[in-house]
Amino acid sequence: MIFKQFSRSVLLLAGFAVWGFSALAQGDATKGEALFKAKCTACHKIESQMTGPALGPTVTEETDDKWLTHWIQNNQDLISKKDPKALAIYGKFNQASMTVFADLTDGDVANILAYVRADWKTIQEDKKKAPAVVATDSGPSDLVIYGLIAVIVIAFIVILVLNKVIATLERLMLNKKGLLPEEAETEEGEPVDKLATLKKIAKNKKLVFFILLCGTIALGSWTWVTLWNTNVHTGYQPVQPIKFPHDLHAGVMKIDCQYCHSGAYKSKNASIPSLNVCMNCHKVVKTESPEIHKIYDALGYDPATQKYDSTKMHPIQWIRIHNLPDFAYFNHSQHVKVGGIKCQQCHGPVQEMKEVYQYSPLTMKWCIQCHKRTDVNMKGNAYYEKMEQVHDLIKKNGKVTEAMMGGIECGKCHY
């Protein structure tokens, strides 16, 4: 009897132990997102392959979180021990070594895995949904414009024909009654007054009114379009000091925008990447390119000796493309991190641009239309959860301070 009870206890404990080791790590996806952005985005994307594999399907298919934790913290140890999974990954990516993250604790890795699985699940669910058709303000179509021009031209021709017919009928009637005056002619048979035709046209009140009306409409339209597009720089494409091909980096190589423009995720400005970000790759990649040598010159870097000379350093004079008026406040992190807006929604298909230009008009009307069309996703969003808590306090007549509503954030005043 005692042995039976003891065996049950042992089996129960063993079952819990196996369940605990085989279960997926229960991590905090929110904390994992921050760690993923800081540690993983240089080589990995969740939905597609980059320098390393796509983490979404990889992490989801691999259920042994203990092995994943060991791989992330010290993949070289697994490779040296001839682990089959580690050797398979090592061989698939041409024996390229992955960074060892010994500073990450088991809890940190669990948070990263939780974020990757949650984001991959969201991506899969979004793919199943039918893509929503977003109305765009493209203005009147070319067909409408050409149609209006055709109507005006046809009306003008009709008026000329009718006037010619009326004049011919009047001449016939006067000729029949013998009232048609004889035209004075020169010896060559030409009219004396060469402006007679213009004078006749000027006496035609309907034709003069029609010409004045068309001129007024054309001049008014041109004035309206000119004033409406004042200070709108759609299509602006300055010549930059270095020809940086976005279609190669963001398009072909699928480098995440925030790898270079990291400020878009955490600050008001997207920020221009420092040259050391370029050197992460171009210290060994395309070193013969004249454009890369402009980076070397700006850093005072000698590729032959691989040393820097601080006395030769100078800044790159980049030319700003997207420039809002001083009175217009725009916060990148509020749109990218809180709103989940993709960079292309404002900047256009940057991954297809050889040289970046201003894609959107960035006018007040354009912003307002976007705000009217864009749905707010409040689920799992810490910003809106905080606002919901504030609203609950207001309903209960509780104390609400400015700090609770973001009043002590730097960007509220210093922008």
Domain holding 38: CATH number? Answer: 1.10.760.10
Cα dihedral sign, 97-264-112-253? negative
Taking only the tens place, the pLDDT of each residue in 108-148 is 888 888 888 888 888 888 777 654 444 455 556 677 778 87
Q: Is residue 90 situated within a structural domain?
A: yes
Structure confidence at residue 194 (pLDDT)? 65
Whole-structure pTM value: 0.50
Q: Mark which of 111, 128, 145 sits at the end of a domain.
A: 128
Q: Is residue 2 situated within a structural domain?
A: no
What is the C-alpha separation between 339 and 50, in angstroms, rounded? 25
**Which residue is it, tokens 């800081």?**
38
Q: Is residue 209 situated within a structural domain?
A: no
Q: Mark which of 128, 150, 180 sits at the end of a domain.
A: 128
Structure confidence at residue 301 (pLDDT)? 94
How distant is the alpha carbon of residue 371 from its chain centre?
Answer: 15
Taking only the tens place, the pLDDT of each residue in 15-38 is 544 444 444 456 788 888 888 887
Q: Is residue 52 situated within a structural domain?
A: yes
Q: Mark which of 128, 158, 190 sits at the end of a domain.
A: 128
The secondary structure element, H or E, covering residue 360 is: none
What is the C-alpha separation between 349 and 353, in angstroms, rounded? 7
Return the C-alpha torsion angle 115, 116, 118, 124, nearest 10. 160
Q: Is residue 237 situated within a structural domain?
A: no
DSSP helix/strand/coil, 206: helix
Range of the domain at 397: 376-415
Q: Is residue 108 situated within a structural domain?
A: yes
Answer whether 407's CB lies under 8 Å from 364's CB. no
Q: Is residue 91 situated within a structural domain?
A: yes
pLDDT, mean of residues 76-90: 81
Q: Is residue 160 situated within a structural domain?
A: no
Structure confidence at residue 135 (pLDDT)? 46
If one counts the domains in the chain, the total is 2
